[in-house]
Amino acid sequence: MSFQDIKRVEKAQTYLDIAVKRALKHNSPKKRGLAFEKARPREYDRIGIIGENLASKLGEIVKNYPILGEFPEFYHELLKVTVDYDKLKKSLSNVKWAANKIKELTREHKQRMARTNEFPQLDTVKKAYLGRVSSVIAQISLNLEYLEFARRTMKNFPVLKTGVFTVCIAGFPNVGKTTLLSKLTTSTPEINEYAFTTKQLNLGYADIKENKVQFIDTPGTLARPEKMNNIEKQAYLAIKYQAELIIYIFDLTEPYPLEDQKKLLGKIKSFDKPIIIYISKTDLLGQNEFTTFANEYKAITSIEELKREIGKRIK
């Protein structure tokens, strides 16, 4: 699912200003007769233009948003941990109400204007309409601002493919997750030589045993759910809802104590998903330093062996 197509939501006053400017540019066809007989159809049309423009723009905002109840589980939960879900629903509902209210006010005031027969009445109806429409727009000002905030947040959501066998790569920061992703797939993620470098979910794809496989490099340790930042929450939910297989990386050069890495493995096991253990950076270790550990954990140490094992697990 992609959230890139949700259009920018402007401030309330911007929509009102645009509608009024378009109306003022409108001139009704020239008509013979008294000044009032020329003015009334012009103002009648302008009310229609303002109402149509505002109702259309507000309606587009609601229509442009994905239907919240139809999100896949991963995105539905991700939305709940990154924005105020109830506030988002209420904002969309209020904007929809405003669009309908403006249509109602437009019909009402066009009828009133059609019954006027002198300039004072014409001005009264015109001012009343602008006042009430302005009031409606003001009422949804904060709603529009929140929809724009939510749009910017969702724009940064990862675009995960559904229906594709998915493997999540987990482990402490700087143990080689992103490097492994680049070796397994055609992905070329940014790789830095210091911890906590992954600022997003890195994705990669590979064909294994004639099957398309989606790999997700999950940042963070996932060790403290109550203190996870938004990117770590994405990683947690990706493993929970998307992963069909987890590759857990041990780094025996110990940028993090081995006992801590073992404890994190225990937490990863709580997802109740199939796990492959992989040992990274073996080129920095002596054979004896990782062979015993590999045997104990039935761990894999080569990329080719890892690909073969993934191929066995593909459903």
pLDDT digits (tens, 9 = 90+) for 16-43: 999 999 999 877 566 666 788 888 888 9
Most confident of the following: 27-31, 129-133, 171-175, 201-205: 129-133
When pLDDT is averaged across residues 260-264 and rounded to a whole number, the result is 92
Contact 74, 238 (CB under 8 A): yes
| pLDDT attached to residue 244 | 96
Worst-scoring range by mean pLDDT, 3-12, 29-38, 70-79, 244-253?
A: 29-38
Contact 189, 118 (CB under 8 A): no
The CATH homologous superfamily to which domain 165-313 belongs is P-loop containing nucleotide triphosphate hydrolases (3.40.50.300)
| pLDDT attached to residue 196 | 44
- How buried is 200 (Cβ within 10 angstroms: 0-12 exposed, 13-18 middle, 19+ buried)? middle
pLDDT at 197 over 60: no
Please state which CATH class domain 12-155 belongs to.
Answer: mainly alpha
| pLDDT attached to residue 261 | 93
pLDDT at 222 over 90: no
**Domain ranges within the chain, ordered by starting residue:** 12-155, 165-313
pLDDT at 118 over 60: yes
pLDDT classification of 1: cutoffs 50, 70, 90: low
pLDDT at 13 over 50: yes
When pLDDT is averaged across residues 39-61 and rounded to a whole number, the result is 95
When pLDDT is averaged across residues 146-150 and rounded to a whole number, the result is 97
The CA distance from 251 to 289, in Å, is 11
| pLDDT attached to residue 50 | 97
- Residue 112's closest CA among 127, 98, 97, 100? 127
pLDDT classification of 229: cutoffs 50, 70, 90: confident
| pLDDT attached to residue 9 | 97
| pLDDT attached to residue 191 | 44
The CB density around residue 131, as the number of other CB atoms within 10 Å, is 9
| pLDDT attached to residue 133 | 98
Worst-scoring range by mean pLDDT, 77-81, 148-152, 163-167?
A: 77-81
pLDDT classification of 276: cutoffs 50, 70, 90: very high
The CA distance from 275 to 246, in Å, is 5
Residues of the chain with pLDDT > 90: what percent? 60
| pLDDT attached to residue 235 | 85
pLDDT at 195 over 60: no
| pLDDT attached to residue 2 | 64
User: What one-character-per-residue DSSP string does 236-287 give?
Assistant: HHIIIII-SEEEEEEETT-SS-HHHHHHHHHHHHTT---EEEEEE-GGGS-H
The CA distance from 42 to 49, in Å, is 11
pTM across the whole model: 0.80
Contact 246, 274 (CB under 8 A): yes
Task: Give every strand in the sheet of 165-170, ordered side by side.
Answer: 202-208, 211-217, 165-170, 245-251, 275-280
pLDDT at 10 over 90: yes
Which residue do the tokens 């109806």 mark? 125
pLDDT at 190 over 50: no
What is the rounded average pLDDT for all residues in the chain? 88
| pLDDT attached to residue 62 | 95
pLDDT classification of 81: cutoffs 50, 70, 90: confident
pLDDT at 287 over 80: no
